[in-house]
């Protein structure tokens, strides 16, 4: 395996050669969705040209081929996140779908008065499903606060955790603040009171090595599109015994063992949680994305990204009036900021005109915006295919935008 070389890796991502408004694209919106390497794109075409049929039910050649590729993808996911068995991997539509599955199915095993602990930096998809569950079953939602520097107020954790806590559901890396949360420590504390832990790995799966057994999390969810795979596919990892104990989320084909009008028995896990025809090509492409990551010098890629993240913060500090929203000691290469009293969307529009894609707004974390008393932020979120030169060009473009708006 060759050492990581950003200029070589960029050749794998055709979209990076695009021009936007006549300028070379600088894609700093990887937190919203990552771009796709050629081999992932080609894998989808190959599947539809040579392998497509419905999975699990057929006796014919193509159904067998599609099933094999789909189940091989499940094995690739299990290997990549360090699960001991593919039976612990449920294919979902994405992070949102994974959290809703847990909130519904695991939620069915809880009783009125049980508590759910989330944090003040959660994405809406890790807030609303729990609120719905609380309304449905009379549970109580508690929130671990966020400090001014964008870290969790861990001093309050012991106070908020109790034997009533059924589950702690938290983000591994904040999509808005870039904060990397000390999840191992939180998982240990939650387990000490008998609570389960769900990790929202939507933003960590692309940036950090993840091993579910080392973390000892009970559930972990992510979206394929954040980790170089297509949209519409995601993963719910759950410990085998938990999946066994939870009722199904949806009923239908594929998730059953036997159906009569009197009673239905369910397929073994994970199929019990995969009702209906799944996103077969998406799952296969997700497996291909992990095969791609395993074929490159991933530690070298993580290191390159860490260098980019530090360089971005350093260069941003040179710009007068810049305020970071969240400045935790441990962050990944995502940075939210404001400049003086300029509106984030004005800055975003002027950056776009210079070929630079950043995201502006509340990033689906409105409670965090309320806490910081801001309408939104500008967010630059990097991936390992970004370069130091792109950061220099971004700084230059930002300075130009500020001058224009001032």
Q: Name residues contacting ligand PMP, limited to 52-71 (CB under 6 A).
A: none
Among 67, 101, 203, 377, binds ligand PMP (CB under 6 A): 203
Residue 102, number of CB atoms within 10 A of its CB: 26
CB 221 within 8 A of CB 201: yes
**Cβ proximity to ligand PMP, 166 vs 236, nearer residue:** 236
User: Pick the catalytic residue: 134, 217, 332, 364?
Assistant: 364
Q: Is 332 annotated in the active site?
A: no
CA 84 vs. chain centroid, Å, equals 21
Among 116, 146, 171, 383, binds ligand PMP (CB under 6 A): 171
Cβ nearer to ligand PMP, comparing 97 with 327: 97
| Shortest spacing between CB 198 and ligand PMP, in angstroms | 11
CA angle at 190 for the pair 185 and 191, rounded to the nearest 5°: 100
Strand-pairing partners, residue 6, are none
Q: Please identify, using beta-carbon distances, which residue of 4 and 123 lies nearer to ligand PMP.
A: 123
For ligand PMP, the closer CB: 125 or 281: 125
Min dist CB 195 to ligand PMP, Å, is 20
**Residues numbered 222-261 forming contacts with ligand PMP, rule: CB under 6 A:** 223
Rama region for 390: left / alpha / beta (φ>0; ψ in -120 to 50; rest): alpha
381: closest CA among 120, 47, 27?
A: 27
For residues 332-363, one letter each, b for 16 or more C-beta atoms within 10 angstroms of the residue's C-beta and e for the rest, the string is: bbbbbbbbeebebebbbebbbbbbbbbbbbbb
Cis peptide bond prior to 210, omega within 30° of 0:
no
Residue (105 or 125) nearer to ligand PMP, CB: 125
Contact pattern from residue 86 through residue 125 relative to ligand PMP, giving x for each residue in contact according to CB under 6 A and a dash for the rest: --------xxx--------------------------x-x
Q: What is the rounded distance in angstroms from the CA atom of residue 279 to the CA atom of residue 234?
A: 10
Q: Cβ of residue 124: shortest distance to ligand PMP, in angstroms?
A: 8
Minimum distance of ligand PMP from residue 44's CB (angstroms): 18
**For residues 166 and 193, what is the distance between their CA atoms, to the nearest angstrom?**
9
Which residues are the active-site residues?
A: 364
In the complex, which residues of this chain contact ligand PMP (CB under 6 A)? 94-96, 123, 125-126, 171, 175, 200, 202-203, 223, 364
């Amino acid at each position: 395996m060759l050492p990581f070389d950003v200029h070589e890796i960029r050749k794998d991502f055709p979209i990076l050669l695009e021009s936007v408004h006549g300028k070379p694209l600088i894609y700093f919106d990887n937190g919203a969705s990552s771009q796709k390497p050629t081999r992932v794109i080609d894998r989808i075409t190959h599947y539809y040209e040579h392998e497509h049929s419905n999975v699990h039910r057929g006796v014919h050649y193509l159904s067998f081929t599609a099933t094999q590729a789909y189940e091989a993808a499940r094995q690739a996911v299990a290997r990549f996140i360090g699960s001991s068995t593919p039976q612990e991997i449920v294919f979902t539509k994405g992070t949102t779908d994974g959290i809703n599955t847990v909130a519904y199915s695991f939620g069915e095993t809880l009783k009125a008065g049980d508590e759910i602990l989330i944090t003040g930096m959660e994405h809406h998809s890790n807030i609303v499903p729990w609120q719905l569950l609380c309304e449905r079953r009379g549970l109580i939602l508690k929130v671990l606060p966020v400090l001014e520097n964008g870290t969790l107020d861990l001093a309050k954790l012991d106070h908020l955790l109790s034997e009533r806590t059924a589950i702690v559901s938290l983000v591994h890396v904040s999509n808005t603040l870039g904060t990397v949360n000390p999840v191992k420590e939180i998982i240990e504390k939650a387990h000490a009171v008998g609570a389960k832990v769900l990790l929202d790995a939507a933003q960590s799966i692309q940036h950090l090595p993840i091993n579910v057994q080392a973390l000892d999390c009970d559930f972990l969810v992510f979206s394929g599109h954040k980790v170089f795979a297509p949209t519409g596919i995601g993963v719910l990892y759950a410990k085998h015994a938990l999946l066994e104990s939870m009722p199904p989320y949806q009923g239908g084909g594929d998730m059953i063992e036997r159906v009569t009008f009197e009673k239905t028995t369910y397929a073994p896990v994970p199929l019990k949680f995969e009702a209906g025809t799944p996103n077969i090509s998406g799952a296969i492409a997700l497996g291909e994305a992990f095969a791609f990551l395993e074929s490159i010098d991933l530690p070298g890629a993580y290191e390159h990204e860490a260098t980019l993240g530090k360089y971005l913060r350093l260069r941003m500090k040179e710009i007068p009036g810049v305020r970071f929203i969240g400045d935790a000691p441990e962050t990944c290469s995502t940075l939210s900021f404001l400049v003086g009293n300029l509106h984030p969307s004005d800055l975003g529009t002027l950056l776009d005109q210079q070929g630079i894609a950043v995201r502006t707004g509340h990033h689906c974390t409105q409670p965090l915006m309320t806490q910081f008393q801001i309408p939104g932020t500008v967010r630059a979120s990097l991936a390992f295919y970004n370069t130091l030169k792109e950061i220099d060009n971004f700084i230059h473009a930002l300075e130009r935008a500020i001058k224009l708006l001032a």
